[in-house]
Structure formats: structure tokens, C-alpha cells
Amino acid sequence: MRLLFLGDVFGRPGRKVVADRLPALRERWRLDAVIVNGENAAGGAGITEAICQDLLNAGADIVTLGNHAFDQRETLVFIERQSRLVRPANFVAGTPGRGAAMVETASGARVLVLNLIGRLFVGLHDDPFAKAEAEISASPLGLACDAVVVDFHAEATSEKQAMGHFLDGRASLVVGTHTHVPTADTQILPGGTAYQSDAGMCGDYDSVIGVDKHEPMRRFLQSTPGPRYEPADGEGTLCGVAVETDPLTGLATRIASVRLGPRLEEAWPRFWD
């Protein structure tokens, strides 16, 4: 199975590069499933129903979220009726929406997508490891589904790596989001789980993690309040992770970083070309 995960879509540049490039990539690489993190898609803070639909129309099967999940108040309502939008499963009980979703591919294969959020430097949330254990035990790889993709939205690399090892052999891909910078640790762990600490963002990299660089720079230089952050508005770069899985086990056989755009050195799964 061929899977593509795209990191945090940040503002208009991120939405545009996904809309412009994903449809062709889905066809060219013959992708079975695409997962996109959309928690920064609406001006860098949250997601709207219209934007969520745009991402789905561009070729996403599932849209995941993170700590900005409910920055747009309308998400509290529409997430209940949009079964292809998931928020972190370890948000406290009673939070609207769902933390996991099962998508069926065109070939009939089933992909479980699980969204989790970390606890180090991100906020007070339930235990992501306990929630991961519960969700994956309920829908084990190779029995209830043919692939498992885990979006771990976390700040600390240590917490992300620990989650990768915790789920090694039980997930097809564990990938980090939230820090908006693609990491260079793309690998398949000993048990067969593909892993990358952060997928990076889909957005303008002539920025400070997606934000117009001038106000963050000023705040680092001066201890004074200023205007609200605004998304950088230059050309976007598409960033993510591509994974191929074994049809019998659902574990990863190949993984590659994806970076397509003007700012970063380009990378793509050459084994699919």
C-alpha cells in the first residue's frame, strides 16, 4: 500500500500548494491513502468547514488536527458531522469529535488513522501512550486493518521518539507534527514501523514556522507587545512523508521524505518514479 502524510498546512500558502500539487501526486504515485494535518490551515490557527472540504477535495482522505483544533469556533460544531476530520484522541473526555477514523481505499484495504497530542510543552492532556495502546489494541494491524498511521502532534522530539518505539511493529507509520520543520531522521524502526520526528509544514518557509517573520523577530529583540501574528504569504512548499507497506503485514517496507517547493532542498520517493 502507498501512503502519503502531509505536515501542518499553514495558512493560504499551505492550502494553495496542497490544492495545486496533491491531485497530480495522488495520480502520479498511485496513492492508496493520503492524510493531511490541517490544524493551522485557517490563517495559521485552526480549520473551518470550507477549508476542511477543500483539503478533502484536493485528495486528502483524512484531515488531522492538534493543539489549535478548536481555534475556529465553528469546528466545535462541524467536527461532529465530518467523519473524515479527527482531533487528538487524548483530549479530555467530552471533547467534540473523534480521535481516530478508518478509511477504506479504492482497493478495499482499511487504514486506521489515529491522532494524538503530546504533553510536554503542549498543554494538559490525557496520557497519549495509554490512548495509543487502547486504540491500536481495539483495531490491531493485520487483523482489523491493513495499515495504521499515527499523527503525534507534539513539541518534544524525545516524546515523539518514545511514541515511535512504543508502537514499533504495531503501526505502519508514526509521524510527528507541530514544530513545522522537517527532521532528518526518516527511518524504518527495527520492528517495521516507519518513523519521522516531524513531517514539516506545508507553507511558506521564508517565515518563522509559517508566520510572517518580522513580528516574531521584533518580539525576540524587544520585550514589548505588538500586533498579532500573521501568516507569511509567499510561495508554499509541500512537506510530508511517503510510505510503502507490505500487503501481508501492513508494516513499512520503504519510507521517504517529501519536500517540494522553492525554499527547501527537494526530496521525493524516487522508488515510485
Burial 24-39 (b: 16+ CB within 10 A, else e): ebbeebebbbbbbbbb
SS3 at position 176: strand
What's the pTM?
0.96
Q: Cell 496520557 appears where?
A: 127
> Judging by DSSP bridges, how do beta strands 85-86 and 100-104 pair with one another?
unpaired
pLDDT digits (tens, 9 = 90+) for 138-174: 999 999 999 999 999 999 999 999 999 999 999 999 9
Asked if the model's pLDDT at residue 41 lies above 90, the reply is: yes
Asked if the model's pLDDT at residue 273 lies above 90, the reply is: no
SS3 at position 29: coil
Confidence grade of residue 225 (pLDDT, cut at 50, 70, 90)? confident
- Which of 179, 125, 122, 139 lies closest to 8 in space, CA to CA? 179
**pLDDT in the model for residue 251:** 98
| Separation in Å, CA 52 to CA 55, 105, 209 | 5, 19, 21
CA–CA separation, 186 and 189 (whole Å):
10
Asked if the model's pLDDT at residue 223 lies above 90, the reply is: no
- φ, ψ for residue 187, nearest 5 deg: -165, 165
Distance of CA 101 to the CA centre of its chain: 14
Asked if the model's pLDDT at residue 236 lies above 90, the reply is: yes
DSSP summary character for residue 27: H
pLDDT digits (tens, 9 = 90+) for 4-32: 999 999 999 999 999 999 999 999 999 99
Domains in the chain with CATH codes: 2-272 (3.60.21.10)
Calculate what percentage of the chain has a pLDDT beyond 70.
100
Calculate what percentage of the chain has a pLDDT beyond 90.
96
**pLDDT in the model for residue 54:** 97
Task: State the catalytic residues.
Answer: 68
In the predicted model, what is the mean pLDDT of residues 184-213?
97
pLDDT digits (tens, 9 = 90+) for 105-148: 999 999 999 999 999 998 899 999 999 999 999 999 999 999 99
**pLDDT in the model for residue 30:** 97
**pLDDT in the model for residue 123:** 86
Confidence grade of residue 92 (pLDDT, cut at 50, 70, 90)? very high
Q: Can you read off the three cell numbers belonging to residue 208?
A: 518563522
- Which of 257, 269, 121, 261 lies closest to 182 in space, CA to CA? 257
Q: In what order do the strands lie in the sheet with 238-245?
A: 85-86, 62-64, 33-37, 2-6, 238-245, 252-260
